[in-house]
Structures are given as C-alpha cells and as structure tokens.
Amino acid sequence: MRRVLHKILQILDGTPAVYGNYSRGQSVVELALVTPLLIILLMGLAEIGWFANNYLIILETTRVGARYGTIQTGDTSPLKWPNEGSLIPTLSADQTVSLSYRNCATLESQPSYRRFYNLIVCRMLESMSPLEFRGFDDPISGETRNGVDDIIVSAFALQTVDPSSSSQIPSFMRSQLSLAAGYPANQQQVLVIGRYPTNANECTFDTTEKNRDPFNYINYTGSGYTASNLRNYLLPSGLADTEENRLYYELIGYDAGDERQRGYSFTGQHVIGVTRSLPAGQQCYGSEWTMDEVEQLMNLSNFSMTNQSQRSALPSQGIVLVEMYWRHSLLLRNPVFNPVFTIINDPSLDPSNPNDAGSVISVWAAFPLPSVEPRIKYAPGS
C-alpha cells in the first residue's frame, strides 16, 4: 500500500523516472499557475449568478407593482390621488404629509392614506424578499439610505388621433397638434394627453422633454377657444357652456410654474440623468421617461405599421409605468480575484469605498390602466 501511495506522489510531484532521473516540482508549478485562474472563474460565475438572481427579483417586483395598479379603481385610482402626497419631502411644503404617504406601516391603521401610488409601492416592497430596500434611514438597525434605491410610479392617458380626419379634431385645430416625433401627419398617432400625479409630471429643466403641459396637446387659442379648468374646447354658437355642448375638450389638469419631479417618487433618491450636472435647485427627481419616449413606445415604432389602415387600430388607453432603481453589491467583494468586479461595479457611487459601491439595477414595467383611459368628446352628444 505504501508503495502505491509513494508511486502516486511521485507521479503528482514530477515525471516518472527516466534512466533514474526525476523532474521534481513540475505539477506543483502547474497547479500554482492554474489555481488562481480557477478561483477567478468560480468567483466570476458566483458573481454573475448573484447579479442575475437579483436582477430577476427586481424585475418581477416591478411587474407585481404594475399588475397591482391595473385593478385600482374608485378611491384608489390615480384620479383620486391627493396631490399633497405627491412630492418628495425635499420638494414638499409639508414634509410630514409627504412622509405619511410613504410609510407603508400606516396603511392598515390609517385607511385614508391607502391610495394609488403608495399601495403599489408597498405591495412591491412586500414582494421583493429576500432583498432589502434601503431608501430610508432605519432607526432600529442604524442603516442609512444608500442614495440609490427608489421606486417611481406614473400614470398616462393616451389618446389615438388621426390628424387628417375631419371626424375628430376640427380642421383649424389640427395644425396645432403636438404630434409624436417621426410619424407622418396623415397617419394615426398615439399622444400623451395626461400624466399623473398632476402636480408631479414634468421636469421643466429637462431639455429633452416636450415643452408642453402633459394635459395640453393642442395649442389652439383662436376663434371660439375657451380656457378654464377644461381647456381648448370649442363651444358651438347659441349653445350653453356645458360639458355636453363642448365640441372638444382636453382632460382636466394643467400645470403652472417650474416642476422638479416626474412621477410619484417613493424616496426621492433618483435624480433624473440629464439634470445631474445642473445646480442643485434645477435637478429633477423621479422618472427617466419623457412624454416623447412614452409616445414612441406606444406608437409601436419597432413594428412595420406604415399605413393608415394598419395604424387606425391603435387604441386610446391608460397605462401605469413602474420604474425601480436598486443598488446591487458584490457577493464576494474581492477586487483582486474577481474578473467581473470592474464590469458590474460602479465606483462613482462611493469613491471612498469602491469595493462596496455596487452597481445600479434599473428596470421598468408597463401595464394597462383602465381608470385613466381618456374619454374625449369630439362633437356634441358623442
């Protein structure tokens, strides 16, 4: 037995004797060279698996929130949302109210706070286990917010419009339409005619955003135009100014002055990318999606719908858009033996400690939202 073991050691330690000579240490050197590579491969596989697992959890979490939003009606629809709960604490005049609409623990004990946006967010937080959401300071554990984690919810009213059709918008108004970019003026288009919450739906410092009120997509102010809480409608001569008699009107809602938040931002940690280089007073928070981008998505620009007969099938609808940003940290956190460290790590998040900086997982999901589907009248009695 000892001879067998001795022979095995000889083989492992070097080439078997040839004319009585040995090449000792060859296998040890080979093992020393190969082992670090094997460790790197194994650590890389572990990190990639860890990242993929977390990404899929966060992605499914956004889908859970968006699906939950589709069934919200009545008092829990976006139309019934109290605007005092929209703004993040740093932008709100009343931080106490703002925080109250961001405290999931109070939803059961205080039903008056159970509304559209916080219901979606709190359902998402319940479904993302075992991952943690660090958007607020935790007085119990002592953990502080990480500067990344955020959930943003927006609701859109989308109207399909044929700019060339006399049966829809009056001809003298059609030339004033804010049409979707890149589509012919004689083909059906889907336009954003409303974005909720109404007091947190624009970043007026975002130069890539359409410079218009999300609730106003016709700029007509000519003869017969009437401006009130219902804007851009035409009243036929001799008829009383009632909703039934208005030839055309846009959805209720309008904005005034500068806005620095787009969508309901849960923590206010996500600064909109194009404003990060601006002064602090001009940085915006919330959704990265502009009205242009939503219109491009809903106009199915990746499909070959090139003629009016095809595009006429585009529907008017409401959608809920849920975005989530979550800070991912490495599992093994070894920058020496980790081949994916510099790929999935973002040292800019924490320059003083790049090994623990982590990367940002950003995902989104959109689902139909019947409660904000537009009901636009184009003619009296229609």
pLDDT of residue 23: 58
pLDDT of residue 382: 53
pLDDT of residue 213: 86
Please tell me whether residue 359 adopts helix, strand or coil conformation. Answer: strand
Calculate the alpha carbon distances from 31 to 13, 35, 287 in Å: 11, 6, 52
Q: Which residue ranges of the chain lie beneath pLDDT 50? A: none
Give the amino acid at 365.
Answer: A
Instruction: Report the alpha-carbon distance of residue 153 to residue 369 in Å, rounded.
Output: 12
The number of C-alpha atoms within 13 Å of 179 and in the hemisphere containing its C-beta is 18
pLDDT of residue 367: 97
> β-strands 260-262, 285-286: how paired?
parallel
Judge contact between 150 and 284, C-beta under 8 A: no
pLDDT of residue 267: 95
Nearest Cα neighbor of 146 from 132, 129, 128 is 132
Judge contact between 155 and 78, C-beta under 8 A: yes
C-alpha Rg value of the chain to the nearest Å: 29
pLDDT of residue 139: 73
Q: Encoding tokens for residue 220?
A: 């007509």
pLDDT of residue 263: 96
The structural domains of the chain, with segments of one domain joined by +, span 34-372
> β-strands 150-161, 317-328: how paired?
antiparallel
Instruction: Report the alpha-carbon distance of residue 281 to residue 155 in Å, rounded.
Output: 26
Instruction: Report the alpha-carbon distance of residue 64 to residue 69 in Å, rounded.
Output: 9
pLDDT digits (tens, 9 = 90+) for 220-255: 888 888 877 777 888 888 888 887 888 888 876 667
Calculate the alpha carbon distances from 144 to 125, 134, 138, 141 in Å: 17, 7, 6, 9
